[in-house]
């Protein structure tokens, strides 16, 4: 760690190498799986958390009964914390109530739904992990009770909200919110050196999406995984069309033959350095800084 970094680094490791990111959230590995929409799923989220990192399950337009079945299955596979990412513009209150009733306490929100969801999460004793793409969004998030910020740089796959590369974005947010708010940061990460570099820059944990998209457990069809494994940065397209219900964000992706917007082909700039498909726990080990 560079000189002076410790006072700005929000992740704390004890002798047993347990990392406290926020209240009630202790990781063995400073790695967070990004929300992957329909491409993540119960198996992937549980496998990442079992490996000591933080798995993530996307909650998007899910009815409470369906969510209950999924979360009960998660709890059959792991007792460790799993992050629930609320990605829809509007979720029924019963959806959050269902997650809380089953003991889930860590929720990712975004610039459009955070103001509505954060007060309810905080009132129930939960932790708010808020994705922000700019300094004003981060400042609003902290003012409204965010426990952790998520900073995703321009290198990311899928919806790209920020206008800043991830390392610059970390510096921007750290200067704006001070040293005490943990930051999970990602965008184009592919290997252990990438993770270590972000931790040195003051991130509390590294966020990886494409790398876990190319796991055995992700809910991506084999033909799409095969395309991603062959892809280079030149194959990626940053589509500026604002489509779907993720507001105001172009998407970085591989194109289909017909140009359809297919989340299974969202990919970040680290894609050329991902040449193997592996179980999630193996990926977590390979990404963990020594």
What does the pLDDT profile of the chain (290 residues) look like in tens digits? 333 333 334 444 444 467 778 877 889 999 999 999 999 999 999 999 999 999 999 999 889 999 999 999 999 999 999 999 999 888 899 999 999 999 999 999 998 899 999 999 999 999 999 999 899 999 999 999 999 999 999 999 998 888 999 999 999 999 999 999 999 999 999 999 999 999 999 999 999 999 999 999 999 999 999 999 999 999 999 988 766 655 567 889 999 988 888 899 999 999 999 999 999 999 999 999 98
What is 6-287's CATH number?
3.20.20.70
Query: What's CA 173's distance to the chain center, in Å?
Result: 17
For helices 166-177 and 192-200, what crossing angle results, to 10°?
30
Do residues 206 and 287 lie in contact, with contact meaning Cβ atoms separated by under 8 Å? yes
- Give me the residue spans of the domains in the chain: 6-287
Beta bridge partners of 138: none
Closest CA to 208 of 221, 220, 198, 223: 198
Distance CA 144, CA 96 (A): 18
Distance CA 210, CA 195 (A): 14
């Amino acid at each position: 760690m560079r000189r002076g970094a410790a006072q700005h680094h929000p992740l704390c490791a004890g002798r047993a190498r347990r990392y406290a990111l926020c209240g009630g959230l202790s990781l063995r590995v400073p790695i967070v799986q990004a929300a992957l929409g329909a491409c993540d799923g119960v198996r992937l989220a549980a496998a990442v958390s079992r490996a000591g990192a933080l798995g993530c399950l996307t909650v998007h337009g899910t009815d409470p009964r369906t969510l209950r079945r999924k979360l009960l299955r998660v709890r059959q596979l792991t007792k460790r914390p799993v992050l629930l990412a609320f990605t829809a513009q509007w979720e029924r209150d019963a959806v959050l109530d269902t997650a809380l009733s089953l003991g889930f306490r860590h929720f990712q929100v975004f610039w459009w739904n955070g103001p509505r969801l954060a007060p309810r999460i905080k009132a129930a004793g939960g932790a708010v992990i808020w994705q922000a793409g700019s300094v004003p969004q981060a400042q609003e998030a902290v003012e409204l009770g965010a426990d952790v910020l998520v900073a995703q740089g321009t290198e990311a796959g899928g919806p790209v909200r920020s206008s800043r590369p991830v390392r610059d974005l970390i510096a921007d947010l750290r200067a704006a919110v001070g040293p005490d708010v943990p930051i999970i940061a990602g965008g184009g990460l592919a290997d252990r050196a990438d993770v270590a570099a972000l931790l040195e820059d003051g991130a509390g944990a590294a966020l990886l999406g494409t790398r876990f998209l190319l796991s055995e457990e992700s809910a991506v069809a084999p033909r799409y995984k095969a395309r991603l494994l062959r892809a280079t940065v030149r194959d990626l397209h940053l589509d500026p069309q604002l489509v779907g219900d993720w507001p105001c964000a172009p998407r970085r992706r591989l194109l289909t033959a017909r140009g359809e917007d297919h989340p299974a082909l969202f990919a970040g700039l680290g894609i050329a350095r991902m040449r193997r498909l592996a179980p999630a726990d193996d990926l977590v080990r390979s990404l963990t800084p020594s």
